[in-house]
Amino acid sequence: MQYKFEDIYDIPQIREMSQRFSDLMGISSAIIGVDGTIWVKCNWQDICDNFHRKHPATCRRCEESDTCLPPKYLENSDTVIYCCQNGLMEVAAPIRIQGEHVANLYMGQFLLQPPDIAFFMQQARNFDFDETEYIQALLKVPVFNEHKVKAVTDYFSKLAVVLGEMGLSQTRLLQANEHLRSSEQRYRLVVENAEGAIMVIQNDTIVFTNNKVIDVIGEGNNIFTFIHPEDKTAFKSFLVRTFYGTSRNPLESTRIMIDSTRTKWVQTNAVAMEWQGERALLLYMSDVTSRKEAEQAVRKAQHELVNAQKMEAIANLATGVAHDFNNFAQIIGTNVELLLANESKSSPIYCKLKEIELAVIKTSELTQRLLMFRDAQECPRQSVDINQLIEQVIHSLKALLPSTIELNLDLNAESRVKNGEPVQLFQIFMNLILNAKDAMPDGGEIFIETQDFIATSSDMDQNPNIQPGRYLRVRVLDEGHGLSNEDLIHLFEPFYTSKQPEQGTGLGLTTVYNFVKNHSGHITCGNEAGKGACFTVMLPATQITNQLIRLPIGGYETLLLVDDDPYILHRGKEYLHSYGYTVLEALSGEEAYEIYCQNQDAIKVVIMDLIMPGMGGEKCIEELLQIDPFINILVASAYLTDDFIRNQDIKAKIKGFVAKPYIKGRLLHAIRNAIDSNPNEPKEDCPKIP
Bridge pairing between strands 469-477 and 533-542: antiparallel
In this structure, of 493-507, 569-583, 638-652, the range with the lowest mean pLDDT score is: 493-507
Q: Which CATH number fits domain 386-543: 3.20.20.70, 3.30.565.10, 3.40.605.10, 3.60.20.10?
A: 3.30.565.10
Same fold, 5-173 and 196-287: yes
Put the strands of the sheet holding 100-110 in their side by side order. Answer: 38-42, 28-33, 100-110, 89-97, 80-83
Distance between CA 284 and CA 270 in Å, rounded?
A: 6
Beta bridge pairs of residue 408: 447
Name the nearest CA neighbour of 576 among 670, 680, 681: 670
Distance between CA 148 and CA 508 in Å, rounded?
A: 22
659 pLDDT tier (thresholds 50, 70, 90): confident
Name the nearest CA neighbour of 373 among 308, 318, 420, 423: 318
268-288: burial string, b at 16+ Cβ within 10 Å, e else: bbbeeeeeeeeebbbbbbbbb
Burial class (CB in 10 A: 0-12, 13-18, 19+), 635: buried
Predicted local distance difference test score (pLDDT) of residue 172: 73
First-to-last alpha carbon distance for the chain, in angstroms, is 93
Name the nearest CA neighbour of 569 among 393, 369, 327, 353: 327
In this structure, of 220-224, 304-308, 500-504, the range with the lowest mean pLDDT score is: 500-504
Distance between CA 120 and CA 133 in Å, rounded?
A: 12
Total Cβ atoms within 10 A of residue 612: 22
Bridge pairing between strands 263-275 and 251-257: antiparallel
119 pLDDT tier (thresholds 50, 70, 90): very high
The Cα angle at residue 217 between residues 212 and 223, in degrees rounded to 5: 115
Total Cβ atoms within 10 A of residue 290: 17
Distance between CA 583 and CA 104 in Å, rounded?
A: 67
Beta strands in 563-649, from DSSP E residues, in sequence order: 582-586, 603-608, 633-637
| SS3 of residue 301 by DSSP | helix
CATH code for residues 5-173: 3.30.450
Q: Mean pLDDT, to the nearest integer, of 186-212?
A: 77
Q: Is the pLDDT of residue 396 over 80?
A: no
Q: Mean pLDDT, to the nearest integer, of 374-390?
A: 73
Predicted local distance difference test score (pLDDT) of residue 308: 61
Burial class (CB in 10 A: 0-12, 13-18, 19+), 114: exposed
Per-residue DSSP letter, 643: T
CATH code for residues 196-287: 3.30.450.20
Q: Which CATH number fits domain 558-676: 3.90.960.10, 1.20.58.410, 3.20.20.70, 3.40.50.2300?
A: 3.40.50.2300
Contact 668, 690 (CB under 8 A): no
In this structure, of 363-372, 396-405, 517-526, 660-669, the range with the lowest mean pLDDT score is: 363-372
Give residue-wise pLDDT tens across range 152-190. Answer: 777 777 777 777 777 777 777 777 667 666 656 666 666
Per-residue DSSP letter, 563: -
Q: Mean pLDDT, to the nearest integer, of 425-443?
A: 87
Give residue-wise pLDDT tens across range 223-259. Answer: 888 888 889 999 999 999 988 888 778 888 888 887 7
Higher pLDDT, 160 or 419: 419
Predicted local distance difference test score (pLDDT) of residue 539: 92
How high does pLDDT run on average in the chain? Answer: 80
**Alpha carbon 186 to its chain's center:** 54
Q: Is the pLDDT of residue 317 over 50?
A: yes
566 pLDDT tier (thresholds 50, 70, 90): confident
Total Cβ atoms within 10 A of residue 79: 23
489 pLDDT tier (thresholds 50, 70, 90): low
Total Cβ atoms within 10 A of residue 12: 9
Sign of CA dihedral 176, 181, 182, 186: positive
Q: Is the pLDDT of residue 474 over 90?
A: yes
Predicted local distance difference test score (pLDDT) of residue 561: 92
Q: Is the bond into 540 cis (omega within 30 degrees of 0)?
A: no
Q: Is the pLDDT of residue 194 over 90?
A: no
Contact 408, 445 (CB under 8 A): yes
Predicted local distance difference test score (pLDDT) of residue 337: 75
Predicted local distance difference test score (pLDDT) of residue 607: 92
Distance between CA 403 and CA 400 in Å, rounded?
A: 10
Total Cβ atoms within 10 A of residue 340: 16
Per-residue DSSP letter, 532: -
370 pLDDT tier (thresholds 50, 70, 90): low
354 pLDDT tier (thresholds 50, 70, 90): confident
Sequence-separated (6 or more) residues with CB below 8 Å from residue 604: 557, 558, 559, 632, 675, 681
Distance between CA 648 and CA 643 in Å, rounded?
A: 9
Q: How far is CA 418 from CA 189, 377, 473, in A?
A: 71, 18, 13
Please compute Rg for the chain using Cα positions.
34
Beta bridge pairs of residue 103: 33, 95
Distance between CA 44 and CA 203 in Å, rounded?
A: 53
Predicted local distance difference test score (pLDDT) of residue 588: 92
Q: Is the pLDDT of residue 518 over 80?
A: yes
Query: Following CA atoms 63, 68, 73, 77 in sequence, which dihedral angle do they give, to the nearest 10 degrees?
Result: 80
Q: Is the pLDDT of residue 276 over 90?
A: no
SS3 letters across 233-258: HHHHHHHHHHHCCCCCCCEEEEEEEC
Q: Mean pLDDT, to the nearest integer, of 278-295?
A: 85
Name the nearest CA neighbour of 302 among 17, 18, 24, 13: 24
376 pLDDT tier (thresholds 50, 70, 90): very low
Name the nearest CA neighbour of 418 among 308, 544, 330: 544
Q: Mean pLDDT, to the nearest integer, of 453-459?
A: 78
Total Cβ atoms within 10 A of residue 297: 14
Beta bridge pairs of residue 445: 406
The Cα angle at residue 627 between residues 653 and 646, in degrees rounded to 5: 40
The H-or-E segment that residue 534 falls in is strand 533-542
Predicted local distance difference test score (pLDDT) of residue 22: 85
Predicted local distance difference test score (pLDDT) of residue 132: 92
Q: In the chain, where are the structural domains located? A: 5-173, 196-287, 386-543, 558-676
Contact 78, 149 (CB under 8 A): no
The H-or-E segment that residue 66 falls in is helix 56-67
Predicted local distance difference test score (pLDDT) of residue 411: 92
**Alpha carbon 47 to its chain's center:** 31
